[in-house]
Structure 1
Amino acid sequence: MTSIWKDNYTEGLKMDVHKSNRMGRKPSVKSVLPNSPTRAEHSGSTNSDAEQEQASSGPCNPEDNLEEAQLVQGSVSSSSHHYLMTTRELQLYWLKEKHERKPVKLLFEIPSTRIAEDFLSKFVLYQIVIISTGSFDENKAFIERRYSDFETLHRDLLKDFKGEMEDVLFPKKILIGNLTTELISKRILALKDYLTELYMISCVRKSKKFLEFFIKPEVEEGYGCVRGGKYGRAMEIFQQVVCLQEKLTPHCPILMVPSLCALVVCHKDQDNGEKAYEMGMKALSILERHTGHRYYIPLLDTMISLAYRIGKDFVSLQDRLQKVKKRMVDTEKMNFTLKELAVRECVD
């Protein structure tokens, strides 16, 4: 779809609705629709736009507008059958479109705290719940962090984004009385606002330091469990990590691949082939455009054996593996199994 066609469509829609309102009637389905191109023209222009965008964007480019291209493509393909809808069906369709296009943002809540202690002192652990807005979120991800973790995050972010964070307020450190109910209540509000303000800054929320605040301790613990053979505990941790990554890294989903592959390893060693296959296919869908990734060949190799075991299509996976091996220059990536890669993660 060209930009000219979109502008004409929008302008025509506004004029028709305005005219209908003046005449005291609802716009008909036929009158709302523009003179749309033919199906062949739809297909050709959509594919051309998608190919140009794919060629010009990198895997983690925050300006790639991939989501917008997908929305435009959906509008083109769906508009050709609008004339078959009743007025009520058309109203429901546009209501659904408006809901689906509503931007998804994150909401940070701190619903509870608890007092913990180490060998030296007591401290407060704040439970942070991350909720996706814009639709019902049944996968609420949560973690626990102490004030010193927030303090470290703030100090590290200021090194890279001091100018962008000049208006971000961080609650001051208090040495005496920091375990009182009154202070904890004030800190809950202040820390919640702090995370919200950070997330509103694009370069900050996409930074490695911001992401590591939410997942690094859990990731390190999870890989430690994998190395120790504690697959049940590792699965619990990585399920939470993947949930967090889905919310925090929509700009670069490839960051989820190691965590998904760790889940494949854990489910496979627990003889849960169906779940391992599900996680593996999710990782493969992300790696379709990144066949040179270090996890791609080991994952394909594992998925072939899984598919054979549970009665899934393994022939197509074998074909993909053979094709990518023929193009491989660096054969070192073929020397490790998926489990070996998982065991080597987070090892200094």
Structure 2
Amino acid sequence: MASRLLHRLRHALAPAEPAAGGAEAEDFPERSELEDDPEGLATRLSGTLSFSSSEEAVAAQSEEEAAGQEPGGGALSPSPAECQGSNLLTRQLQDLWRRSRKSLIPQRLLFEVTSASVVSERSSKYVLYTIYLICSGQFDKAPAALTRRYSDFERLHRRLRHQFGCDMAGVSFPRKRLRRNFTAETIAKRSRAFEQLLSHLYSIPNIRSSSDFLEFFFLRDLQAAQRLTCTGMYQEALATWSNAYRLQEKLDVCNSGHFLLTLAGLVVCHQELDELSTAHCYCEQALQLLGAQDTHPLLEPFLQAHIHLSWKVGKDKRQSEARLQGLQGNGVALQQQPTLKEFLIKETLD
């Protein structure tokens, strides 16, 4: 019995044998899960970059020295060659980060692919991605959504590369595949890639304000809403006009002709659905955007609609009446001007 206890004691006090694989296997236990790693995921996850300024680093080092400690909490100091190489890399990263902060805007708008569905038609099969536009830093009560295919993103990427060669030089795009296009893994990777693509494009001022980039988001909604309005499907058209309104509002393009056309669609649909107070509010918003313009083709139709709606809901219409009379005094042929509904039907959206 005593000999057995002595044997156990000697075994417990003996130094532990190193595990198979050496220290590297102990330090990086996840390495075994990343052996088959064609995209270099293990390399990208092996360290963390810090973008703190050099002044902050010097201040932290001074505090440690004043406290009588070695910088880094008593850890072994790297060699001079290692210090020089790491400092050089840190300075390069800091310079790159500062330059990017000057050219890129803070991300106030988030692009999130919330779902993706495989659609099968008679002659084709494709994935339809649903993208939400959400304002960051606050609770967004009315996010805007759109659905796009891989081919839509590819067309946008090709047009922007043709128009903005320098800005698009470093922008990558997920390549087409000969097979496995409809697996969950491929769809998930493309979803994340499309989110990053839209966020990066939105951060570049020239691209953010370009017609190709903006129309990618709302032109299709405007075309669909116009067709529904022309066929008298006002309830369905209203939902599409409203989504196009939110998309343009989040993209901050509320002074464009497309936005005025959207307001015209909202006025017409709310009026046809007997929601006159809401129609009146959108009409007033349009007149505020038009401001002092006297030659815009939508000015007289909005004035006519505002006068009619103001009379219906019991609001003051004298200012609109005076402005309409002023247009007539300037020689504008008011009888030839279409109504808002007629303007929507005739307008061509390319």
TM-score bracket, normalised by the shorter chain, equals 0.5 to 0.7
Q: Secondary structure at the match of 2:287?
A: helix
The 3 A distance-change label for structure 1 pair 231 and 140 is: same
Residue 113 of structure 2 is matched in structure 1 by: 110
Distance 1:328 1:170 in 2: 54
Alignment TM-score, normalising by the size of structure 2 = 0.66
**AA of the residue aligned to 2:242:** Q
Query: Partner residue of 1:143?
Result: 146
Q: Counterparts of 2:329 and 2:163 in 1: how far apart (Å)? A: 42
Distance across 2 between alignment mates of 1:310 and 1:219 = 28
Find the counterpart in structure 1 of residue 337 from structure 2: 335
Counterpart for residue 219 of structure 1: 222
CA drift of 1:123 comes to: 1.1
TM score, norm. by length of structure 1: 0.67
| Offset at residue 118 of structure 1 (A) | 1.9
1:192 corresponds to 2:195: yes
Please identify which structure carries the higher helix content: 1
Measured against aligned partners, the alpha-carbon deviations of 1:108-137 in whole angstroms (never above 9, x if no partner) come to 111211111222122111110001224332
Moved over 6 A (4+): none
Counterparts of 1:298 and 1:224, CA distance in 2: 20
Return the offset for 1:327: 3.1
Structure 2 gaps, min length 5:
1-104
Cα distance between partner residues in 2 of 1:322 and 1:294: 16
User: CA separation in 2, counterparts of 1:266 and 1:198?
Assistant: 34
* Partner in structure 1 of residue 242 of structure 2: 239
1:303 aligns with one of 289, 306, 309 = 306
CA contact (8 A) 1:130 1:141 kept: yes
**Cα drift, residue 328 of structure 1:** 4.8
**CA distance 1:143–1:108, change in 2 (3 Å):** same
Could you say what secondary structure the match of 2:291 adopts?
A: helix
Check conservation: 2:111, 2:132, Cα contact below 8 A. yes
| Separation (CA, whole Å) in 2 of partners of 1:328 and 1:262 | 28
Shift of 1:324: 3.0
Tell me whether 1:344 sits opposite 2:349 in the alignment: no
What code does the residue aligned with 2:139 have? F
Q: Contact 2:107 / 2:203 at 8 angstroms: preserved in 1?
A: no
Shift in Å, 1:332: 7.5
Counterparts of 2:262 and 2:335 in 1: how far apart (Å)? 18
Q: 1:160 to 1:302 in 2, by over 3 A?
A: same
Match of 2:279 in 1: 276
Structure 1 residue 296: Cα displacement: 0.8
CA distance in structure 2 between the partners assigned to 1:231 and 1:346 by the alignment: 19
Work out whether 1:261 is the aligned partner of 2:279: no
Offset at 1:251?
Answer: 7.1
Deviation at 1:158, TM superposition (A): 1.5
Relative to 1, partners in 2 of residues 1:129 and 1:285: Cα closer, same or farther, differing over 3 Å?
Answer: same
Paired amino acid for 2:308: S
**Is the CA contact 1:297–1:334 (under 8 Å) kept in the aligned structure 2?**
no
CA contact (8 A) 1:267 1:276 kept: yes
With over 3 angstroms needed to count, the CA separation of the structure-2 counterparts of 1:136 and 1:155, relative to structure 1, is same
SS of corresponding position for 1:145: strand
Distance in 2 (CA, whole Å) between partners of 1:203 and 1:104 is 16
What letter matches 1:341 in structure 2?
F
**Letter of the structure 1 residue corresponding to residue 208 of structure 2:** R
- In 2: Cα distance, 1:291 partner to 1:104 partner: 37
Q: Encode CA deviations 1:220-267: one digit per residue, 9 max, x unaligned.
A: 111001110111111010000000011113473554110011110111
Q: 1:320 aligns with which of 313, 319, 323?
A: 323
**Are the counterparts in 2 of residues 222 and 237 from structure 1 also a CA contact under 8 Å?**
yes
Q: Deviations over 1:302-335 (max 9, x none)?
A: 1101110111111221012112332355x37952
Deviates more, 1:318-327 or 1:306-315: 318-327
Which residue of the partner structure matches residue 171 of structure 2?
168
1:299 & 1:182 partners in 2: Cα distance? 51
> What is the aligned length?
246
Counterpart of 2:110, as a letter, is L
The residue correspondences of 1:24-43 to structure 2 (distance < 5 A) are none
Of 337-346 and 228-237, more deviation after overlay is shown by: 337-346
Q: Which residue does the alignment assign to 2:205?
A: 202
Match for 2:180: what amino acid?
Answer: G
> For the residues of structure 1 that align with 2:298 and 2:123, how far apart are their CA atoms?
42
Q: How far does residue 342 in structure 1 lie from its aligned partner after superposition?
A: 0.9
Deviation, 1:336, is: 1.1
Cα shift readout 1:87-116 (whole Å, capped 9, x = no counterpart): xxxxxxxxxxxxxxx977211111211111
User: 1:290: how far off?
Assistant: 2.8
Cα distance between partner residues in 2 of 1:121 and 1:255: 32
Amino acid at match of 2:303: L
> Which residue of structure 2 aligns with residue 290 of structure 1?
293
